[in-house]
């Protein structure tokens, strides 16, 4: 493991950057001692000839690219409001946007990106854009066209990160939720996610994506993928919050230089799925007491809890004030160890996103059986 870290460090040192040397050295040490390798720094951006210092740190990914540690999630953001939300987010300082074909709003996100680029406020290179391959496009021959559809809708000529949204393949086609009328369950297709991954690797080779990763994979699936992949996943995106800490899975990722992005990091209180825990997460007495102690909102406490552990967060909001609060006031304080432990102790293996409609699929990651 340490030798692997040194080889990766040597690759990064080709950048001839002292700051990068420091971060990569930290990476090697953290890998050796099985610790999170949250490598972050503030990097000035050149916009219109002026150096503008961003107020959010970046995570140095294993491919040498920087990923902002907070992004704007766009799941369940209505198309009619998401364009303005993304424009507001860019004005605030967000440069990381988490998207997916299944969200049905990538064209509206793309309209906002184009407008802000045309205004000269940002350039494409200032942005970090993630999209995801949906379950009905797992056939290897469909992967490239699915990626190009997201790129076209977003108005970009490459993606910074493309994730396999789920390990399960649904029946191929444009019906995004093929359902059996007798059982109300998703109609699956016999496609191994390893074959899908091989097609995704080609996207990097062809320059359509800078990096690829996965979402909603369990430990066994990550391990199996690592044993097969020519290009290892750079990021795993998972549901992660105090009710679902995912410690073992995150440790596996850290051991293999995979960054972790947390969705539902504020608890997804408005989702129509499961409702774990005795309280909505943002209303839990422990969170409220810690928020009062630090003079922060409960949301800011939850975001800081994740980011100070090296976890990237993508809270969803269409409220400009909430986006501002989430972005600006989580970097100037740190939770004490006892407060972080109190939050960690809320773990009850409580999952909001269970994807029960796909129960029975051989690659379902959360069904109470061992997925392969």
* Residues 295-352: tens digit of each pLDDT: 999 999 999 999 999 999 999 999 999 999 999 899 999 999 999 999 999 999 999 9
Looking at mean pLDDT, say which of 53-57, 107-111, 270-274, 365-369 comes out highest.
Answer: 107-111
Instruction: Write the pLDDT tens digit of every residue in 24-83.
Output: 334 433 443 344 444 444 444 443 444 444 458 999 999 999 999 999 999 999 999 999
Which one is predicted more confidently, 280 or 1?
A: 280
Provide the mean pLDDT of the chain: 87
Nearest to 319 by CA among 125, 72, 4, 70: 72
| φ, ψ at 362 (rounded to 5°) | -60, -20
CA angle 43, 253, 44 (to 5 degrees): 5
Mean pLDDT of 281-303: 97
Please give the backbone phi and psi of residue 120, each rounded to the nearest 5 degrees, phi first. Answer: 85, 10
Q: How many CA atoms lie within 13 A of 135 on its CB side?
A: 25
pLDDT bin (cut points 50, 70, 90) of residue 275 is confident
Residue 2's pLDDT band (cuts 50, 70, 90): very low
Q: Is the pLDDT of residue 4 over 70?
A: no
Classify 169 as helix, strand or coil. coil
User: Is residue 360 left, alpha or beta, with left meaning phi > 0 and alpha meaning psi from -120 to 50?
Assistant: left
Give residue 270's pLDDT: 62
**pTM: predicted TM-score of the whole model, two decimal places:** 0.86
Q: What is the DSSP letter of 362?
A: T
**Across residues 205-227, what is the average pLDDT?**
98
Let me know: does 361 contact 334? Beta carbons within 8 Å: no
Order of strands across the sheet that contains 40-41: 40-41, 58-60, 66-68
- What tokens does 258 get? 């995979």
Q: Which residues are catalytic?
A: 103
């Amino acid at each position: 493991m340490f030798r692997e870290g040194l080889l990766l460090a040597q690759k990064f040192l080709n950048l001839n950057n002292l700051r990068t040397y420091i971060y990569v050295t930290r990476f090697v040490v953290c890998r050796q001692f099985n610790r999170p390798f949250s490598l972050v720094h503030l990097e000035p951006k050149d916009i219109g000839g002026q150096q503008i210092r961003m107020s959010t740190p970046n995570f140095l990914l294993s491919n040498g690219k920087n990923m902002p540690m907070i992004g704007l999630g766009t799941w369940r953001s209505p198309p009619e409001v998401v364009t303005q939300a993304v424009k507001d987010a860019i004005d605030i300082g967000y440069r990381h946007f988490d998207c997916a074909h299944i969200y049905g709003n990538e064209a509206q996100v793309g309209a906002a990106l184009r407008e802000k680029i045309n205004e000269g406020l940002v350039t494409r290179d200032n942005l970090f854009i993630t999209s995801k391959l949906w379950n009905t496009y797992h056939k290897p021959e469909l992967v490239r066209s699915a990626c190009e559809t997201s790129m076209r809708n977003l108005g970009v000529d490459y993606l910074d990160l493309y994730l396999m949204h789920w390990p399960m393949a649904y029946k191929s086609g444009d019906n995004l939720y093929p359902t059996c009328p007798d059982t109300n369950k998703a109609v699956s297709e016999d496609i191994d996610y390893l074959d899908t991954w091989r097609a995704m690797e080609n996207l990097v080779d062809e320059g359509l994506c800078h990096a690829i990763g996965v979402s909603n994979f369990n430990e066994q699936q990550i391990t199996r993928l690592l044993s097969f992949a020519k290009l290892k996943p750079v990021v795993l995106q998972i549901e992660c919050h105090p009710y679902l800490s995912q410690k073992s899975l995150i440790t596996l990722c850290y051991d293999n230089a995979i960054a972790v992005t947390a969705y539902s990091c504020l608890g997804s209180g408005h989702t129509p799925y499961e409702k774990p825990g005795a309280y909505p997460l943002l209303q839990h007495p422990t969170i409220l007491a810690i928020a009062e102690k630090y003079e922060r909102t409960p949301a800011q406490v939850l975001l800081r809890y994740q980011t100070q552990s090296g976890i990237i967060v993508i809270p969803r909001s269409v409220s400009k004030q909430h986006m501002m609060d989430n972005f600006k006031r989580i970097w100037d304080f740190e939770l004490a160890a006892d407060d972080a432990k109190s939050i960690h102790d809320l773990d009850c293996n409580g999952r909001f996103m269970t994807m029960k409609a796909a129960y029975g699929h051989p690659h379902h990651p959360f069904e109470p059986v061992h997925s392969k």
